[in-house]
Structure 1
């Protein structure tokens, strides 16, 4: 049990570092834009770029892993991840910065899927959903501690120092991975790596992968521009924003922890209510943010809802893979990350367009559209599961 706890800690550390590296752009948007003399929208599009590369590269790398040692693949991908963050810290211009984010995004999704695969192998069956929720909680911890602390450090020293710290922490995590994770894990052998794609012949998978995509698209229309929402729409002072980002991250952490309980008790059946709450909070955001405290409550509640879909969706994919497509286990482990990042790319891109053409007032209703689609998809999926 002690070994499993330490291994769980290492897997959570992995997701924390990955989340810290991915999310921090939201907190340092202004500082990066100022240094490279580009617009905030241009820096915001780095979120979109990261998510698109993440979503495209993750399934390809997951397929290529095939029957290879999961341990060796994870070590190799972590070395590339560290290199990408070091390059970000050293980037002399916006072009090199964008390239470094591409390099980091290339391997981030595959690292997540490998962490989840290790977790599903290591945990007893009755603790699997809890461990998967714990692994995902690393992303929430990154929002709670990493983003606000990184924002504070960026404001008072340099945003580059944030990526030096990320690189250092990733190097420590690499050493822990090398020491404690089993070296003999592989997924079931297949005649050819494309046979892993057979999981997409299942109609439940075809529908189910839309849920994390639409969830994150709805949230990220607003989340990408949290800093302007706090400062411009609600008129909070600059030195308060780091605290507000901390609070938002804490709410998402609570949601992520509760996500494991939802997976055990209700599965995806509870998600229609979650998406309905998202819809009402987002569609009413132009009104609620006219009062800083009501608007703040709405945004923080959105933070709580942000990751509730994680564990129910991930357990849904893994159960289908284990029962019908065991050769696709690593690929199935990556579905939540792949399609969530497609949603992030879509939501941040739509958010950028709305911010440019309608200002902050169009952001909430734009996100509500995706929440409405998620309600329809989840209801259809529930109907399909009954048949």
Structure 2
């Protein structure tokens, strides 16, 4: 039991440092814009670039490394990830920084996919939903601790020291991986064709679009969370760090609630999540006129962001284990891959809205994607129910 707790901590730490690096840009947008003399909206596209590279590279790298020892693969991914952050630390111009972020993004998705595969391997069946929700919570903890810490460090000591903090945590994480995780984990060998057979399943094709539109809806406004707080809601820089922590706590609560959902109603509860997102986002233009009302709305909508995570992750794993066992690592990566397609779509949409309209438009812009996600989850639940009924034995 002690070994399981240590291993669980290491998997959460992997997610934390990956999330810290990815989300750090949100908290230091203004500082980077000042340093490199580029508009904040342009710096915001670093989020888009990171997410696109993350999403495109992850399936290819995941398929490649899943044919070999997964422990060695995880160490290699974390090594390249650390190198990418070292390059960010030394960036001398905006283009150099963008290239360094591409290096980091290219392996981050494969690293978390392997982490989730290890979670499925080491956790007893009753603990799987719990551990998966905690691994996803690692990203939320990065929002609570990492992003505010990175913002505070950047404000007081410079943005390079924020990246140095990520580098140090990455090196500690690699050391703990070496000391704690099993070294003999491999999955059933299969050709590339055998692994991608997973995509023949219509449930998978519909299901993988859900994290995409869920995160697209959120990131229309989340990419510009710092200017929303300081410009739109008119809070001070000192209050900014506190509010980023509060919103991160909201995200952690949502992740833990996601674990409970996966143990209970699962995907059947998700349509209500997207209805709530739609309502809250449509309220944003009005809510942003009142500082603390705006904070409450942001808190609630950020709470909804991770609720899909554990139910959809378990759904992917269950489909793969039953019908496509050779594709388990790839199935583990789907949530991460398409979440980042969603981040890219949402942040790009937010950039267009902010550049051409104003911050008032980001809420209704995100609400459009919430409607799409609602339609997809209703269709998936109906399909799953019909399949269950068709396989139920006649009495």
Could you tell me the TM-score, scaled by structure 2's length? 0.97
Alignment of 1:197-236 (within 5 A): 197-236=196-235
Partner residue, 2:373: 374
Q: Which runs of 4+ in 1 moved over 6 A?
A: none
CA distance, structure 2, for counterparts of residue 19 and residue 194 of structure 1: 31
- Contact 2:68 2:186 survives alignment (8 Å): yes
Partner residue, 1:24: 24
- Contact 2:288 2:360 survives alignment (8 Å): no
Alignment of 1:138-177 (within 5 A): 138-177=138-177
CA drift of 1:202 comes to: 0.9
Cα deviation, 1:18-62, whole Å, max 9, x if unaligned, reads 000000100000001100111101110000000000000000001
- Contact 2:27 2:151 survives alignment (8 Å): yes
CA distance, structure 2, for counterparts of residue 355 and residue 35 of structure 1: 21
Deviates more, 1:208-217 or 1:230-239: 230-239
Does structure 1 residue 117 correspond to structure 2 residue 123? no
Partner residue, 1:248: 247
Supply the RMSD in Å over aligned alpha carbons.
0.7
Partner residue, 1:75: 75
CA distance, structure 1, for counterparts of residue 233 and residue 174 of structure 2: 41
CA drift of 1:287 comes to: 0.9
- Contact 1:347 1:367 survives alignment (8 Å): yes
Unpaired segments ≥5 residues, structure 2: 387-395
CA drift of 1:228 comes to: 1.1
CA drift of 1:386 comes to: 1.1
Partner residue, 1:56: 56
Partner residue, 1:128: 128
CA drift of 1:194 comes to: 2.3
Deviates more, 1:115-124 or 1:175-184: 175-184
Could you tell me the TM-score, scaled by structure 1's length? 0.99
Cα deviation, 1:123-166, whole Å, max 9, x if unaligned, reads 00111111011111100000001101110111111010011110
Partner residue, 2:321: 322
- Contact 1:63 1:194 survives alignment (8 Å): no
CA drift of 1:290 comes to: 0.8
Unpaired segments ≥5 residues, structure 1: none
- Contact 1:217 1:370 survives alignment (8 Å): yes
Aligned residues: 386
- Contact 1:81 1:103 survives alignment (8 Å): yes
